[in-house]
Structure 1
Amino acid sequence: MNIAVIGCTHAGTAAITQMAKLYPEARITVYERNDNISFLSCGIALHVGGVVKNADELFYATPDQLAKLGVHTHMRHDVLNIDTDAKTIKVRNLLTGDEFTDTFDKLVVTTGSWPIIPQMDGIDLENILLCKNFNHSQTIIEKAKTANRIAVIGAGYIGIELVEAFEQLGKEVTLIDNMERILYKYLDKEFTDITERALVEKGVAIATDQTVTAFKGSEGRVTTVVTTAGEYEADLVVLCIGFRPNTELLQGQVDMLPNGAIIVDDYMRTSKPDIFAAGDSCAVHYNPTGQNAYIPLATNAVRMGSLVAKNLMQPTVRYLGTQGTSGLKLFDYNIASTGITETAALAAGMNVKNVTIIDNYRPEFMPTYEQVTLKVVYDAETRRIVGAQLISKVDLTQSINTLSVCIQNGMTMDELSYVDFFFQPHYNKPWNLLNQAGLQAG
């Protein structure tokens, strides 16, 4: 059996390592256009800020390790064409320019995503950078050494983490986003008010509710970011405005969302027999709404990649869907969210209610305690939990993982009220924070 894999980041690496173990008789051939695999892009900001000194620590697999598993890995090879009916792929060796055709019995498409690059005046000026892979991280670090004023475009998790890293390096930072609040997709206003205040207190300039329209420069280098609300001086710009799936190779051959994300079933199968896909190139089943959605996260990718291997020969292990669960460390704050926000739920026409708990996380008789804010969003009729957010200076983010399980299992607020959680004064109160949310839900 010939298995071809296109792309080797999170989903690809997970699929390959599992397939090598499950199907030792198979010939597994991997084509990767880059010169490295398995880079943890979520660690870029930590590397930029100097928390992670050695970038090599952000790789968790190498071509040599795959070779020891019997995998044939072709680095710097670009797949030019896929014929899903003939089961052939056309490949170019980027080092020699040679082109050849390979065949497959099973194809795994883990081509990932790429940053969205807006087409506007000045976009080609020097010092306007992307933030996605290892090479990007090295460029950002090098350019930041001589930059004083840095503009970060996009206030999602990656943008926020870079802003924190640049601030800690002593840079003058401006954060620009077209939404009215930062972290708009992940948090409701009660939470973004806190995070915005924390950034402003550190000297970060926040420019929200405005869209970048152009860049100005001098001698080929960027000097100014132009938006619908004004102009901002910057000698370095990092674009963090989102990602698009890399799926042009399968365009018109398999079912996709309008943005090009490949639609897979519960067993990671595309609409074509023997063609599997996983990771950022795919849509995921979003449990809070029951619909397909595009949520590029490393956690989704590794789960889906592993499931490709499990289900390659026959449907065996079903995908449980995702809540888009994620976390963020911002200065002193620990932040996490799962499922849909109240803002997004209402915009989608869902009939939801919410309960917000603001309390000290452990008894006041303890020597120290910290305030925590927890918000749980639930369906007004069925009382099914659909989302939750949490922020505190003490790390209680695992509570959001617990609520992720609740959403995945379709639990209600009434059931949450009486879940068996332990009590120990070092860690919590007799009525656990999550129990309190259930009990106080109207």
Structure 2
Amino acid sequence: MRIAVIGCTHAGTAAIMGMAKLYPEAEIHVYERNDNISFLSCGIALHIGGVVPQAEGLFYSSPDQLKGLGVQTFMRHEVLEINTEDKRLRVRNLLNDETFEDQYDKLVMTTGSWPIIPKLEGMELENILLCKNYNHMQTIIQKAKHAQKITVIGAGYIGIELVEAFEELGKQVTLIDNMDRVLYKYLDQEFTDETERTLQGEGIQLALDQTVTGFEGDANGQVARVITTKGAYETDLVVLCIGFRPNTDLLRDKVDMLPNGAILVDEYMRTSIPDVYAAGDSCAVLYNPTKAHAYIPLATNAVRMGTLVARNLMKPTVRYMGTQGTSGIKIYDLHIASTGMTETAALAAGMIVKSITIHENYRPEFMPTYEQVTLKVVYEEQTGRIIGAQVLSRADLTQAINTLSVCIQNEMTMDELSFVDFFFQPHYNKPWNLLNQAGLQAI
């Protein structure tokens, strides 16, 4: 049996390592157009800011490691065409421009995603950069050395982490987003207000509720100003963090997809074509709060899906339980996490929901120190089913969101949350756990 894998980041690496162990007799061919594999892009800002000094620590596998498992890895090779009827690939070697064909019995699509690149005037100017892979990171580091004013476009997780890293390097930082709040997809306003106060308190300029319309350059062809619907911002360097699109053109019009091109897979990671599997950022995921497919490109989703490809390659064995889109971020001394839907997103989707927000000290006031925590839980009004939650504190209480992620996955209600058995110990919490309090106050 020959297995062809296209793309080798989070999902691809997980699938390959699993398949190599489960099917040692298989011939596994991996095609990767970059010159490295398994790069943890979530560590880009950490390396830029000096928290992770050695970039090598951001890789968790290598072609040599895969070779030790009997896997043949074709680096700097791009798959040009997939013939799903004949089960053949047409491939180009990017080093010498030669093309050849390969045959497969099983195909695994883990082609990931790519940054959204807007078509704006001035995009050809120097020092307008993307932020996705290892090479992007190295370019950002080199360019930032010579830049004093840096503009980040996009106030999602990556954008927020970058502005903090740049500010701590002593740069003048501007953050631009077309929404009126930072982290709009992940948090409701009571959380983003506190986040914005923290960013502004560190000297970061927030330019929100405005859309970038173009860029102006200097006499040397380098970007000098970012033009928006509300003004212009002088800059030496621009990093685009607008979002991502799935890399799925190879299978366009061949398999079922969402309108944005994300591949639809069943609970066993099978596409609509037999013997073609997909995982990671190239895919839509089953989103448990809405019970519908959605595009949520997260590394956690990718490694789970890639692992499941290996388990289900020969026969349906372990089903995918869906995702809540659970995520977290540390912004200066704020620990923030969220899972499922925000109240804003639920209302926009036409759902009838209620929420409970708690502002409480996380442990007894008789302890030498304690911090306030803000916890919000969103639930369906009629059934009480939990569909989302957010937490923010200067104490690290983010694991509460992992617990609530399990609650959403298991379709628990606020009534049930009220009386879940949680331990009490004054070092960590109060007699009524914070999550119990949310349930009790809601009912």
TM-score, shorter chain, exceeding 0.5: yes
2:362 is the counterpart of 1:372 = no
**1:97 partner letter:** D
| CA distance, structure 1, for counterparts of residue 377 and residue 168 of structure 2 | 33
SS at match of 2:325: coil
Counterpart code for 1:106: K
Equivalent residue number for residue 438 of structure 1: 439
The residue type equivalent to 1:99 in the other structure is: T
- The residue number in structure 1 matching 2:320 is 319
- Distance in 1 (alpha carbons) for counterparts of 2:280 and 2:232: 37
1:90 equivalent in structure 2: 90
Instruction: Please list, as runs of the form range in 1=range in 2, the aligned pairs for 1:115-130 lying within 5 A after superposition.
Output: 115-130=115-130
Post-superposition shift, 1:223?
A: 0.3
TM-score using structure 2 length: 0.99
1:411 aligns with: 412
Structure 1 match to 2:230: 229
Structure 2 SS opposite 1:363: coil
Amino acid at match of 2:239: V
- Counterpart position of 1:77: 77
Task: Give the corresponding residue for 2:385.
Answer: 384
Q: Please provide the CA RMSD for this pair.
A: 0.4
- Percent of matched pairs sharing the same residue: 75
Q: TM-score, normalised by structure 1?
A: 1.00
**Which structure 2 segments of 5+ residues have no match?**
none
CA distance in 2, matches of 1:94, 1:162: 31
State the AA in 2 paired with 1:134: Y
Instruction: Give 1:51 deviation, angstroms.
Output: 0.6
User: Aligned equivalents of 2:173 and 2:356: distance in 1?
Assistant: 35
Please give the alpha-carbon distance, in whole angstroms, between the structure 2 residues aligned to 1:87 and 1:14: 23
1:394 corresponds to 2:395: yes
Measure the CA separation in 2 of the matches of 1:433 and 1:139. 44
1:135 counterpart residue number: 135
What amino acid is the match of 1:435? N
Give the aligned partner of residue 243 of structure 2.
242
Structure 2 distance, partners of 1:93, 1:138, is 24
| C-alpha deviation, 1:214, in angstroms | 0.2
**How far apart, in 2, do the equivalents of 1:345 and 1:83 lie?**
41
Alignment correspondent of 1:428: 429
Give the match for residue 275 of structure 1.
276
- Give matches, 1:193-342, under 5 Å: 193-218=193-218, 219-342=220-343
Q: Distance in 2 between matches of 1:381 and 1:180?
A: 31
Helix, strand or coil for the counterpart of 2:184?
Answer: coil
Deviation, 1:252, is 0.4
Equivalent positions of 1:134-153 (< 5 A) are 134-153=134-153
Matched residue type, 1:111: T
**d(CA) in 1 for partners of 2:398, 2:78:** 40
Matched AA of 1:272: I
Q: Which amino acid aligns with 1:2?
A: R
Tell me the SS of whatever aligns to 1:280: helix
Partner in structure 2 of residue 105 of structure 1: 105
**C-alpha distance after superposition, 1:70-105 (max 9, x if no partner):** 000000000000011110000001111110010100
Within 2, Cα distance between the matches of 1:359 and 1:51? 31
CA deviations 1:382-428 (Å, max 9, x no partner) are 10000000000000000000000000000000000000000000000
Q: Distance in 2 between matches of 1:407 and 1:85?
A: 40
SS at match of 1:402: helix
Specify the alignment match of 2:37 in structure 1. Answer: 37
Amino acid at match of 2:139: T
2:57 match: 57
* Aligned residue number for residue 162 of structure 2: 162
Aligned partner of residue 14 in structure 1, secondary structure:
helix
User: 1: CA distance between counterparts of 2:123 and 2:357?
Assistant: 43
User: Counterpart in 2 of 1:358?
Assistant: 359
Distance in 1 (alpha carbons) for counterparts of 2:194 and 2:84? 50
How much has 1:124 moved relative to structure 2?
1.2
Q: CA deviation at 1:26?
A: 0.5
Distance 1:297 1:234 in 2: 30
Local SS of the residue matching 1:194:
helix
How big is the shift at 1:2? 0.6
Residue equivalent to 1:180: 180
* Alignment partners' CA distance in 2, 1:309 and 1:107: 11
User: How far 1:291 moved relative to its partner?
Assistant: 0.7
After superposition, the C-alpha distances for 1:132-184 in whole angstroms (9 at most, x for unaligned) are: 00000011111111101000000000000000000100100000000110000
The letter of the residue matching 2:380 is D
Q: Deviations over 1:58-80 (max 9, x none)?
A: 00000000000000000000000
SS at match of 1:394: coil
| Aligned mates of 2:216, 2:233 — CA distance in 1 | 10
Q: Shift of residue 130 of structure 1?
A: 0.3
Deviation at 1:372, TM superposition (A): 0.2
Counterpart CA distance in 2 for 1:39 and 1:174 is: 27
Q: Tell me which amino acid in the other structure corresponds to 1:296.
A: P
Q: Which amino acid aligns with 1:149?
A: K
Q: Partner amino acid for 2:404?
A: L
